Structure 1
Amino acid sequence: MADIAARLGVSKMTVSRALSRSTPQRSDASESLRQQILRTSQEMGYVMDQTARTFSSKRSGFIAALIPALNNSNFSDTAHGLTSAIESVGMQVLMGYTDYDMATEERLIRTLLSRRPEGIVVTGGSHTPVARKLLTSTGVPVVETWDLLDKPIGHNVGFSNAQAVSELVHALHAKGYRRMGFLGGLPQSDARGADRRRGFLQAMAQLGLDTSRTLAIGSAPVTMEAGARGVAKMMENWPDMDALVCVSDHVAFGALAECQRRGWSVPGRLAIAGFGGFEVAKACHPQITTVSVDSAGIGQAAGQLLLKAIGLARAGQKLAPETVFVPYQIEIRGST
């Protein structure tokens, strides 16, 4: 800043005011000088340090968000929806990836909160006790996404994974399937996957059907290869199984591919359903029955809710906890 001032023959205070001012002044002369300062700062590669302004105004201009993975298109769509909502008002998103690990989430929450975000978005409602305490005491709006929670920390945007799978099971039952199984990952590795398994078991029990055909294979995110291994193991254990509900479309695709390798007709010998509405479920043959989720809509709704909460917080007010339900859709396709 001193170098810019020296080059233009003005004070450092004049440079500081010009760089921090977002709107032109009424005086043509002062605006002309401001534009000259801005051009000079760009030529000299000057980047303004926002730290002091953040501490004085308590407005960092960004929110923090944590998602399990970026290579999962559902979560990348959520991140895109969130970013589009936040950036529409000139704010930014600082993103972190938990790799489905609650200890990693706890570490990232602590790190991100030290940067003084104006709000934070997390995926799901399962956190370590320390992470929950950090989120509860942070003093900024918190939005938990991708599930409907009985006791959210603050705001909640999503849907019930358990209810969605329960509705899927009832839809398959209406088509005549009775000996259904569930293929997913280890429950402790993915809370949403565990909820889907719970929804499957609840629906099967409600329908008076056998609940024993379940298999946990691998940690989240469960892969296509695990789906291939899993369906082979399940058909070995329960050769009479007539339908398989998978924790995700990727797992379902792996199961479908393995059935085709072994010459097992889908849905003739085994019907297969997934979860998530991923592109791969539409690109294969037969197309896979799934629960289609509005992933981008979850991010968009979370961003809009956070902006409302931040706006009130800047005015010294607090938004009462809100829950936003984002609809899903059961899509029956050729695999069932």
Structure 2
Amino acid sequence: MKNPTLVDVAKQAGVSLSTAARVLRNSDYSVDPALQEKVNVAAKAVGYIPNLVARRLRGGKQGVVGLVIGDMLDAHYAMIAESVTKRAETAHSTFAIVCNMQRDPMLEIKYLRKLLEYRVDGIILAGGGFDQWTHHKALAETIEELKRSGTIVTSLMPRNIEMPVFSADNAAIGITKAKFIVEKGHTKIGILLGPARNDMTKERMQAMTSYLSGYMVDYAIANIESTPEAGAHGAAEMLARNPDFSALICGSDAIAFGAISYLRGEGIDIPGRISVMGLGNTRLATLCTPQLTTVEMNFDRAGSAALDFIASHSASSVDASGEVIPHSLVIRESFAQLNGS
């Protein structure tokens, strides 16, 4: 049985094909309200569903965007997905397809190609920070293909590919954390960062350690996965290697959450013996005991800004400027001033 067409709707409603098309394609051309009602009733009666892909191929927008997130179980990505899907519905009457790349860079590329097949209006890359080097060429080629097809591609992190980026200043974040460490008088610290093959992590680390070196702060660095489980293991190893450090600086709230759980399980006072700082200001920051000092990254604002950009631009009018999203230090109970400082 073939799918119902506009011809079937027009015949059922007793109107011209052009009138049926204007109603069902939301044309700006004025149609009498009584005729609109007849067409809408007829469309339901015959089971007509608009072909959004065909509409896109005719030069229109589908009202569908793709969002590729890194890990659905990570509070950081959950915040982004919540903000994008909510704003898509409330501000733009847009449908968001959320793809979970499961921390796999090859799966990110696979989902981009699948979204290309669906001819979505735009894509927000909100994952992919786990390995930004190994598959960079394949990613760049896929994004160029998407752009040629008329899809607007944006990112919530720098990817060294020409596209609008909506992200905080990563070097500035590193300096914000470093200044706070120095201000609180810590001179021996451990640093638990996310994956090493990540340009954002590298940029933050370089800015932070460069600043700390100017104040004679000793630090030990470990690159781990950005999960609570890895944070717990990382804290244990850092404590074994450097038992006299007074602060643990983490590359995400998830890492910090796991580190705090481990340290408290070992009977270590936080922040009396070891202070802990996270990154992201996710829900995990307030679920910690004590609550976590962290950096507000405004993930929700970044996701909404990228969606607004897609909704307000056409593929031919896109520039690569994007927006620098502000960050701020959120001081809670997990970080202490050292005595005598």
TM-score, reference length from structure 1: 0.83
> Contact 1:83–1:303 at 8 Å: present in 2 too?
no
TM-aligned CA distance change 1:276 to 1:299, over 3 Å = same
TM-aligned CA distance change 1:58 to 1:197, over 3 Å = same
> Contact 2:186–2:217 at 8 Å: present in 1 too?
no
The one of 153, 158, 162 aligned to 1:153? 162
**Are 2:217 and 1:214 aligned?**
no
One-letter amino acid of the structure 2 residue matched with residue 245 of structure 1: I
Q: Distance in 1 between matches of 2:85 and 2:27?
A: 22
> Contact 1:165–1:291 at 8 Å: present in 2 too?
no
TM-aligned CA distance change 1:198 to 1:132, over 3 Å = same
Give 1:20's aligned residue.
25
> Contact 2:193–2:201 at 8 Å: present in 1 too?
yes
Distance apart, 1:244 and its partner CA: 0.5
**Are 2:177 and 1:168 aligned?**
yes
5+ residue gaps, structure 1:
none
TM-aligned CA distance change 1:37 to 1:166, over 3 Å = same
Q: Distance in 1 between matches of 2:218 and 2:305?
A: 38
Give 1:134's aligned residue.
142
5+ residue gaps, structure 2:
336-341
1:221-300 matches, within 5 Å, as 222-300=226-304
- Percent identity reads 26
Give 1:112's aligned residue.
115
Q: Distance in 2 between matches of 1:82 and 1:333?
A: 28
Pairs aligned (count): 321
**Are 2:86 and 1:66 aligned?**
no
One-letter amino acid of the structure 1 residue matched with residue 141 of structure 2: K
TM-aligned CA distance change 1:269 to 1:115, over 3 Å = same
Q: Distance in 2 between matches of 1:307 and 1:13?
A: 27
Distance apart, 1:274 and its partner CA: 0.9
Deviation per CA, 1:165-201, whole angstroms, max 9, x where unpaired? 332122011111010111134423x554444444443
**Are 2:187 and 1:178 aligned?**
yes
Q: Secondary structure at the match of 2:308?
A: helix
Distance apart, 1:46 and its partner CA: 3.0
Deviation per CA, 1:101-121, whole angstroms, max 9, x where unpaired? 221122222221222233322
One-letter amino acid of the structure 2 residue matched with residue 207 of structure 1: Y
- Which segment is superposed worse, 7-16 or 179-188? 7-16
One-letter amino acid of the structure 1 residue matched with residue 222 of structure 2: L
One-letter amino acid of the structure 2 residue matched with residue 216 of structure 1: N
Q: Secondary structure at the match of 2:313?
A: helix
Q: Distance in 1 between matches of 2:214 and 2:120?
A: 45
Q: Secondary structure at the match of 2:229?
A: helix
TM-aligned CA distance change 1:9 to 1:246, over 3 Å = same
Q: Distance in 2 between matches of 1:21 and 1:263?
A: 64
TM-aligned CA distance change 1:206 to 1:51, over 3 Å = same
Q: Distance in 2 between matches of 1:201 and 1:270?
A: 19
Q: Distance in 1 between matches of 2:92 and 2:179?
A: 43
Distance apart, 1:6 and its partner CA: 5.5
- Which segment is superposed worse, 126-135 or 243-252? 126-135
One-letter amino acid of the structure 1 residue matched with residue 334 of structure 2: S
**Are 2:196 and 1:187 aligned?**
yes
Deviation per CA, 1:15-42, whole angstroms, max 9, x where unpaired? 445423445735x4xx423312312322
Give 1:144's aligned residue.
155
Q: Secondary structure at the match of 1:187?
A: coil
Q: Distance in 1 between matches of 2:118 and 2:166?
A: 24
One-letter amino acid of the structure 1 residue matched with residue 217 of structure 2: L
Q: Distance in 2 between matches of 1:99 and 1:169?
A: 31
Q: Distance in 2 between matches of 1:207 and 1:176?
A: 10
The one of 96, 99, 108 aligned to 2:99? 96
Q: Distance in 1 between matches of 2:38 and 2:255?
A: 59
> Contact 1:106–1:128 at 8 Å: present in 2 too?
no
Q: Distance in 1 between matches of 2:185 and 2:231?
A: 24
TM-aligned CA distance change 1:21 to 1:265, over 3 Å = closer
TM-aligned CA distance change 1:10 to 1:320, over 3 Å = closer
> Contact 2:188–2:245 at 8 Å: present in 1 too?
yes
